[in-house]
Structure 1
Amino acid sequence: MTAITAEDATKVKEIVCEILELEEDEVTDTSLFREDHDADSLRAIEILASLEKEFKIVIEQSELARMVNLQGVYEVVAEAQKAAA
């Protein structure tokens, strides 16, 4: 597993919370976006696009299946950063 920096993790959480219209203390690393926070697939795509823009990376849409909580998003972003390096 590839690790994400604490700074990048904070930025990821900010992006996710902004798009899901949640306070940061409402979202944990393992809370599920769809089940716990009523996120729909459009919001997931918004998150993906925002992460690509913020970190200047490419994330395949197939990775959306893994991006169900912050932990999954951290892993996908870390892998995309490693691939882009």
Structure 2
Amino acid sequence: MTAMVEERISKIKEIVCEILELDESEVTNTSLFVDDHGADSLGSIEILASLEKAFGVTIEQSELPRMVNLDGVYEVTAEAAGW
């Protein structure tokens, strides 16, 4: 994994944890936001909007079902950004 990928993943994790009010140590790449951390659908919308702002991309709301954990969020953001 390159330093750039690690930096992007770290930024995504920071955004997700801030919105869901979680400690970064609680969240793994595969832990589920709703099932494992009690997130709600509003949190998902906030995450999407924050990612768009942070990375200068547009993410369709139809991608929300894929954004259930950090891996999914990274995949969706990477596709939107063309990484």
The runs of at least 4 aligned residues of structure 1 exceeding 2 Å deviation read none
TM-score, scaled relative to structure 2? 0.93
Partner of 1:73: 73
Partner of 1:21: 21
* Identity value in percent: 69
Write the distance in 1 (CA, Å) between the matches of 2:62 and 2:34: 17
Partner of 2:6: 6
Unpaired runs of 5+ residues, structure 2, are none
Secondary structure at the aligned position of 1:39 is classed as coil
Secondary structure at the aligned position of 2:54 is classed as helix
Q: Residue 21 of structure 1: CA displacement?
A: 0.3
Q: RMSD value over aligned CA atoms? A: 1.2
Q: How many residues align?
A: 80
Q: Residue 37 of structure 1: CA displacement?
A: 0.4
Q: Residue 24 of structure 1: CA displacement?
A: 0.3
One-letter amino acid of the counterpart of residue 48, structure 2: L
Unpaired runs of 5+ residues, structure 1, are none
Relative contact order: is structure 1 or structure 2 higher (C-alpha 8 Å, sep ≥ 6)?
Answer: 1
Partner of 2:62: 62
Q: Residue 5 of structure 1: CA displacement?
A: 1.2
